[in-house]
Each structure stands twice: as structure tokens, then as C-alpha cells.
Structure 1
Amino acid sequence: MGKKEWVTAEIKGHKVVVFSKTYCPYCKKAKDALKGIGLTDYTLYELDERDDGAAVQDALQEITGGRTVPRVFVGGDFIGGGDDTARLANNGELAKKLKAVGAL
């Protein structure tokens, strides 16, 4: 299985998936937004701790059109990065999306 296939399977196989890096402030913003609305159980990949992190980012670029992190997926849909996730949390849309997929 190639990286793109693996990434796609992970996105489809979990309600919420976050591709992140441990030191990234935008990644922290996205994770804090999820935590702030009560979501603590989600699939998290810290790409800077993986040997294949760069290949995963390449696959994310093919899938989403961007390779920066975070890349946040809810119910198989790409919802954006740190600013997008925080904005959706603040306006109530993130909680709606999470409830719709049974994650919250």
C-alpha cells in the first residue's frame, strides 16, 4: 500500500484525524480547539515523530492540495488547518460536524 492509499484509509477509517507536528503552533491551535469543545478521543499523527512524515505530507498534498500541517479531517472531510479549526470551533460548526459523525 502506498502512502496516499494509507492516508486515505486512515481518513476514511476514523471519525476525526489530525496530521500534526509536535512543535507547530498552528497544530497546537487545532488540537486546543478540539479539546476546547470536549473532544479528547481522536486519531493523531505527529509527522515529525514518524520516519515517513515527509511522504505522508506529500500524500496529504495530493489529497487536499496543501502539504502544511495541521490537516484536520472530520467524517472523512478535510475541514482545514489550525485557523480553520479554531474558527469552526468558535462559531459552533465544529461541534455540529463532530456530533454528526458521532465523535462528540
Structure 2
Amino acid sequence: MTDVKEVIKSKISGKKVMIFSKSTCGNCKTTKELFPQYFGKELDRKDYEVWEIDREPNNMCAQLQDELRNITGERTVPRVFINGKCIGGGSKTLTLHRCGKLAKLLTQ
């Protein structure tokens, strides 16, 4: 990956839902568990991607998190994007789900 910023932008623009995650993060796991219930209704599985950034070689994880901070103002994961817009992290995504607004975002 030559340009981290371009790779991230490509991922975000290429999917309706793009989640930047770490495989060992509890908040990431909780967030990822929310989305399968929307498959086939508000969300087509092919429009959903999770990138486990901690599995990238050569300290790429730190570079990705630094660039996510540049894009969103936050370095923590999960970073959840819907329709190209960052909706926040795990707590924000869970709140949107609980109040019924996540489904609405997925149908826009």
C-alpha cells in the first residue's frame, strides 16, 4: 500500500458500510455483531466490509489509525462509515441502532 490515505478513501467510497476494526477489540466485536441483522433488508452483504487493520504487516496499523485521525478526528477503532460518512465509533453506532436510526442511515 503506497498511499494510506488513498487506500482508506477507496475503501470508504467502495462500500455502503465500511468498518475499520481490530480483531482483538471488544468494542469492534460488538459493533460488527450489529450489522448482520440488517443483511437482506436495509443492507446487501456485498456493500459491507470490515478491515481488521491490526492484521496488516509492517506497522501499517499505526499508519492507518493516524490517517483515520486525519480524516475523522479520532484514531480509535472501530471507525464506522456509512455512505462515505463517518458516523463514529462503537458507542455511537450502538446508540443509533438502539434508537432505530441505524436502519434509516442504511436505506439512504
Counterpart position of 1:92:
100
Q: How many residues were matched structurally? A: 100
Aligned residue among 71, 74, 80 for 1:63: 71
> TM-score scaled by structure 2?
0.85
In structure 1, the residue matched to 2:55 is: 49
Question: Residues 22-41 of structure 1 correspond to what in structure 2 (within 5 A)?
Answer: 22-38=23-39, 41=45
Structure 1 distance, partners of 2:34, 2:14, is 22
Q: Deviations over 1:36-66 (max 9, x none)?
A: 4445721110011112221111110100011
> SS in structure 2 opposite 1:68?
coil
Q: Which runs of 5+ in 1 are unaligned?
A: none
Distance 1:27 1:65 in 2: 18
Distance 1:5 1:57 in 2: 14
TM-score (norm 1): 0.88
Cα gap change, 1:81/1:49 in structure 2, threshold over 3 Å: closer, same or farther?
A: same
Q: Where does structure 1 differ by over 6 angstroms across 4 or more consecutive aligned residues? A: none
Instruction: Report the Cα offset of residue 33 of structure 1.
Output: 1.9
In 2: Cα distance, 1:35 partner to 1:28 partner: 12
Matched-pair identity in %: 43
Judging changes above 3 Å, is the alpha-carbon distance between structure 1 residues 40 and 13 closer, same or farther for their aligned structure 2 residues? closer
Root-mean-square deviation over aligned CA pairs: 1.5
* Partner Cα separation in structure 2 for residue 81 and residue 44 of structure 1: 13
